[in-house]
Amino acid sequence: MNISELTREESYQLTLKWIKDRGVSVAEIAELTYFLQEPFIPNLTHEMCQDSVCTVLKKREIQNAVWTGIQLDLLAEKNQLAEPLLSIIRQDESLYGIDEVLSIAILNVYGSIGFTNYGYIDRLKPGVLKRLNDKSTGQVHTFLDDLVGAIAAAAAARLAHDQQS
Ligand code: MG
């Protein structure tokens, strides 16, 4: 489907579908947001986190990052990229770093709190991030793990900003 034919709602729904088809639920991303923000926001609920994740996913610049990253993961999984990029992405080669760079496009939208949050969960790899980093499944999630971490961190930054206003 050509992008010019998609409504805002359709491009949002498509983004949700792409993420779900890769085995990740909005609830799992929201769980990371809750983990990040729970110490700082009294009465924070899982529903607030889920709403925040959904708001983040409605932004086109974030959808663009998600589509690009997931597409590269999928092509690598099907061996449809040219070498040496294919083996770099399949092995999640540690010096590559472009997966993190793509996620910065997501973090940029919500300012510096997002960067701190992202660095924190990227190091701890709680919840769904641990699963996505399991290399024994045959699936390639080189980009998706960073996208999910960045979406959760951006959603947490949104909640933090709301709290201050
Ligand atoms: Mg990665």
pLDDT tens-place string over residues 70-80? 999 999 999 99
User: What average pLDDT does this structure show over 102-106?
Assistant: 93
Cα–ligand 1 centroid distance for 50 (angstroms): 23
Cα–ligand 1 centroid distance for 7 (angstroms): 30
Cα–ligand 1 centroid distance for 42 (angstroms): 32
85 domain-assigned = yes
Encode pLDDT of 145-161 as tens digits.
Answer: 999 999 999 999 999 98
Single out the residue of 120, 119, 112 nearest to residue 161, CA to CA. Answer: 112
Q: How buried is residue 54: exposed, middle or buried, by Cβ count under 10 Å (0-12/13-18/19+)?
A: middle
Q: Residue 6 gets which letter from DSSP?
A: -
Cα–ligand 1 centroid distance for 104 (angstroms): 12
Encode pLDDT of 120-133 as tens digits.
Answer: 999 999 999 999 99
152 domain-assigned = yes
1 domain-assigned = no
Encode pLDDT of 49-68 as tens digits.
Answer: 999 999 999 999 999 999 99
- Using the Cα atoms of residue 100, residue 55, residue 43 and residue 129 in order, give the sign of their dihedral: negative
Cα–ligand 1 centroid distance for 146 (angstroms): 5
2 domain-assigned = no
For position 97, what pLDDT does the model report?
Answer: 94
Cα–ligand 1 centroid distance for 163 (angstroms): 30
In terms of residues, how long is the chain?
165
For position 10, what pLDDT does the model report?
Answer: 96
Cα–ligand 1 centroid distance for 143 (angstroms): 5
Print the domain residue range for 32. Answer: 7-19+26-37+44-163
For position 3, what pLDDT does the model report?
Answer: 87
Cα–ligand 1 centroid distance for 123 (angstroms): 12
Single out the residue of 141, 117, 115 nearest to residue 32, CA to CA. Answer: 117
Cα–ligand 1 centroid distance for 8 (angstroms): 28
| Pairwise CA distance, residues 25 & 41, whole Å | 23
Encode pLDDT of 20-40 as tens digits.
Answer: 999 999 999 999 999 999 999
**Token pair 């083996």 in the structure block, residue:** 87
CATH of the domain at 32: 1.10.3760.10
130 domain-assigned = yes
133 domain-assigned = yes
Cα–ligand 1 centroid distance for 82 (angstroms): 19
How many domains does the chain divide into? 1
112 domain-assigned = yes
Element (DSSP H or E) covering residue 86: helix 85-91
The string of DSSP letters for 87-152 reads: HHHHHT-TTT-HHHHHHHHHHGGG-HHHHHHHHHHHHH--THHHHHT-GGGS---TTHHHHHHHHH
143 domain-assigned = yes
**How sure is the predictor about 165, in pLDDT bands with cuts at 50, 70 and 90?**
low
Q: What is the pTM of this model?
A: 0.96
